Amino acid sequence: MPIKLYETDFGEYYTGDSKNILKSKIGQKLKGNVQLILTSPPFPLNKKKSYGNLNGNEYKKWFSSLAKTFSDLIKQDGSIVIELGNSWEPKHPVQSLLHLESLLKFVKNPRANLRLCQEFICYNPSRLPSPAQWVTVNRIRTVDSFTRLWWMAKNDFPKSDNSKVLRPYSKSMKNLLARKQFNAGKRPSEHKINDKAFLNDNSGSIMHNVIELEQMDEKRDPRLPENIFSISNTSSNDYFSNKCREKGIKIHPARMPIPLALFFIEFLTEPGDIVLDPFAGSNTTGYCAELLGRKWVSMEIMNEYGKQSKIRFDDPKLTQI
């Protein structure tokens, strides 16, 4: 039986196996009403005990079986965004293909009618060096520092608006707009740029599909959408992490970066829409949805993660909006 652990003005957090919760009355009510499923499921290979096998076929089967359930939950113009990090073969300096195979099997599930709208890469320069053995001990691999997000939908034109997630202009672009002059002509790429191009101030530039959580180069400004950057870019220094530290709570080890969740919610939903996270952990998704005035429903199998996630909703930022 699913248990409602808590609720807020905008959302509800349930504990239990999300597959069972989604089969229950709660899932039935959500069917066809969800605008965005934003989630990072348990990663392949890390959960050998839970999904029990050595070669990962069980994981693939489990993962791809979610496709139909998720597809039924979203609206016709809804989206599914799934974050998966890279996984590595145990004891070998070799990347596993399991996450890629799982994503392919998910999007190609014939019962789900999904397509890949776009792939995103979330680059995190602060990631600890891993896989440690091969990166820091043997020094034969480089730091694995990105996760992959697949944005899928059952329609070629899900609700989306890139003008809501504009990146602040770079310094050189700001100078250019101030000077009102542009170096027109043919580029090495053969693109012809006319002398009026780029001279309109659109309050920011269009986001890229590589999301850089911090600037790669200290001299360069970070290029996350302005509203997102102002939230807090470092996951170890936000309200939730500080409170968990203060209270001696062992914080969820695989939290989604706040700017990432904010980006997808702003890009793919409008205020009042429902955002669902069936593997919610510390409830980054629910917190970001609440900040942006979206309704949210979150599900998590581990009670302790649910309990700690409640702390997020004491954040004074939520009362300032």
299 binds ligand SAM (CB under 6 A): yes
The residue (of 181 and 303) whose beta carbon lies closer to ligand SAM is: 303
Question: CB under 8 Å to 30, separation ≥6 — which residues?
Answer: 22, 73, 274, 276, 297
Angle at CA of residue 288, ends 286 and 289, nearest 5°:
60
**CB nearer ligand SAM, residue 19 or residue 105:** 19
Encoded one letter per residue, x for contact with ligand SAM by CB under 6 A and - for no contact, window 120-139 reads: --------------------
Confirm or reject binding of residue 305 to ligand SAM (CB under 6 A): yes
Check residue 119 for interaction with ligand SAM (CB under 6 A). Answer: no
282 belongs to the binding site for ligand SAM (CB under 6 A): yes
Which of 125, 302, 304, 314 is the binder for ligand SAM (CB under 6 A)? 302
Binders of ligand SAM among residues 35 to 74 (CB under 6 A) are 40, 42
In the complex with ligand SAM, the residue whose CB is nearer, 210 or 302, is 302
Among 107, 173, 231, 254, binds ligand SAM (CB under 6 A): 254
Least Å distance, CB 39 to ligand SAM, is 7
Rounded to the nearest whole angstrom, what is the least distance from the CB of residue 235 to ligand SAM in the complex?
Answer: 9
Q: What are phi and psi of 35, to 5 degrees?
A: -85, -35
**Residue placing its CB nearer to ligand SAM in the complex, 115 or 243:** 243
Point out which residues bind ligand SAM (CB under 6 A): 17-19, 40, 42, 252, 254-256, 279-282, 284, 299-302, 305
